[in-house]
Amino acid sequence: QSVLTQPPSVSATPGQKVTISCSGTSSNIGNNYVSWYQQVPGTAPKLLIYDNNRRPSGIPDRFSGSKSGTSATLGITGLQTGDEADYYCGTWDGSLSAPYVFGTGTKVTVL
């Protein structure tokens, strides 16, 4: 069971903006860097954001990340049909539960 909570789903029409929240605790998000991963159905996850808000080379600036306290947020602007996927947050956890934990995952649907 994941210790990071995300909404099961979000949806919007093309061109709009969506945000995905990731809620944790002081042992994980509160004191560590958050990454975000995109998983298009049937494919392996892809790193979208690391260090809370940094984008790897090749990731468009439509994707953004932020962190405040024990929560993190992924934003997607100018939503495209190709953005329809599952999104997961992840971070180091300093408690004994697991060194690294993923969020529950959020399905983004482009209407």
Buried b (16+ CB within 10 A) or exposed e, 31-47: ebbbbbbbeeeeeebee
Does residue 96 touch another protein according to CB under 8 A? Answer: yes
Does residue 104 touch another protein according to CB under 8 A? Answer: yes
Min CB(51)–another protein separation in Å:
5
From 11-19, 47-55, 65-73, 77-85, span contacting another protein (CB under 8 A): 47-55
Query: Looking at beta carbons, which pairs linking 47-56 to residues 24 or more positions away fall under 8 Å?
Result: 48/74, 48/87, 49/74
Question: Which residues of this chain interact with another protein, rule CB under 8 A?
Answer: 2, 32-33, 35, 37, 43-47, 50-51, 54, 56, 88, 90-92, 96-105
